[in-house]
Amino acid sequence: MADPRDQPDHQEEIEGATPGEQLIEACRRGNTDLLQEIIDNAGGPEKAAILLNETKSVLGNHLYHEAALRGNYEIIDILLDQDGFECDPINRQEGDTPLHSAVRFINSLPSPLSEHNLEFASSLLAMMTEAGSDPRIRNKAQLTAAQLCDPKLASLKNQLNDALDIVQNQGDYIVDDGDLADGGEEEGYEGSGSDFDEVEYREQRKGRNGKA
């Protein structure tokens, strides 16, 4: 069956749209070629970052949300590779970060998750958290991404809590493991924990544990 995106009507719709509308369409449909073309023609990295960060859907979703809500891995990979790209924009409706949106996508997959879907979900979350998406942030329902995750998906909840553990322990303080089971984040935290050195953190933690 032909891809509807290859039909003339669809192409005319894309070509007549603004760059922002085209970006939203690209992120929704997983159109990596269109996304890359718009980035390349934005007039440089700074202008591209502004365009990517400020474009929103009519419902208040950023591009990162639109891609994450559909599990569009390759689109997210391109977005996260752009200098100055914001990892933790908040959407208007739920107060979600894109990490929340990715969890909503994963929760919507057929249950129980197939081995392929579980591996994909784990890779998606890993890419996002390693690139700087902050697992501490709560949405309007006061839920972190880990707390939003389906309780049946224990391995993914643990993965998100491990990521949260790493961000929490960027400093020299230690978070109680019981706190992590409940979400583990600072109450009301809405900041961004973008850059951290996981290897350095692991070594520091080994050192602290060795002194215990």
Express each pLDDT in 95-122 by its tens digit: 999 999 999 999 999 999 999 999 999 9
pLDDT at 171: 55
Summary mean pLDDT of the chain? 83
Band of residue 170 on the pLDDT scale cut at 50, 70, 90:
confident
Provide the pLDDT confidence category of residue 11 given band limits of 50, 70 and 90: very low
Side-chain-side CA neighbours of 96 within 13 Å: the count stands at 25
Which pLDDT score, from 0 to 100, does residue 209 have?
38
Q: Name beta bridge partners: 56.
A: 62
Q: Using one digit for the tens of pLDDT, what is the confidence trace for 56-97?
A: 999 999 999 999 999 999 999 999 999 999 999 999 999 999
Give long-range contacts, CB 8 A cutoff, 24+ apart: 3-8: 5/29, 5/31
Structural contact between residues 192 and 134, judged by C-beta atoms closer than 8 angstroms:
yes
Provide the phi-psi class of 150: left if phi over 0, else alpha when psi is between -120 and 50, else beta.
beta
The structural domains of the chain, with segments of one domain joined by +, span 13-86, 115-212
Name which of 32, 52, 57, 33 is nearest 42 in CA terms: 52
pLDDT of residue 15: 61
Report d(CA 168, CA 52) in Å as an integer. 28
Which pLDDT value is given to residue 123? 98
Rounded-to-integer distance, Cα 1 and Cα 58, Å = 31
Could you tell me the pLDDT band of residue 185, with boundaries at 50, 70 and 90? Answer: very low
Question: What is the mean pLDDT of the segment spanning 140-166?
Answer: 97
pLDDT of residue 105: 99
Backbone angles phi, psi at 56, to 5 degrees: -135, 155
